[in-house]
Amino acid sequence: MTDLVTGADGIRRCAWAGADAEYQRYHDEEWGTALHGDRRLFEKMSLEGFQAGLAWITILRKRPRFREVFHDFDPAVVAAFGPDDVERLMQDAGIIRNRAKIEAVIGNAGLLERMADGELDALMWSFAPVAHTPPRTFAEVPTVTAESTALSTELRRRGFRFVGPTTMYALMQSAGMVDDHVAGCWRAEA
């Protein structure tokens, strides 16, 4: 994989953004941009969990339906889901129909409901690296770091599921806790 791709618009981006318009929009507007708020981070955690073993573009394309069926990731609503809701979601082709992942989102919502307002945000951001050197090449981008492992360990200790170290590093990248836009990408230079 080359490190950069130049889009039809003449903009140089990280190569993973490719030529897909939705991927380019996500790269340009979301990935690596600081994201705060318990509810938004709960959504990000949930979607990253659903992504495990799949391509992110699959989740991105299904995100509107995920938002719809999980009531915009309102933890109070999702925490109240029961067995009938799980079965309803298992029949919905608009999302990833994985029982363990669906049940994890519901369980994680219940855990978030028991946390103080702003606690998830503060917890997650407390693991953001103090110093992070943006990568020069795609080969320098890690999949796991000491910080993502520590965040995963703490979330698991609190009972959260589908929050492994690789999944948490992906969250750290997408939520702007680290900036992994490679050198030469317009976002790395912005």
* Residues that are catalytic: 26, 48, 56
User: Angle of helix 38-51 relative to helix 56-69, nearest 10 degrees?
Assistant: 130
115 vs 151: CA distance, rounded Å: 16
Q: The tokens of 150 are what?
A: 């520590």
Bridge partners for 5 per DSSP = 13
142, 146, 108: which is closest to 127 by C-alpha?
146
| Spatial separation of the C-alpha atoms in residues 141 and 138, rounded to whole Å | 5
- Residue 85 neighbours by CB distance under 10 Å: 16
Whole-angstrom distance, CA of residue 86 vs CA of residue 72: 16
Sign of CA dihedral 127, 131, 137, 139: negative
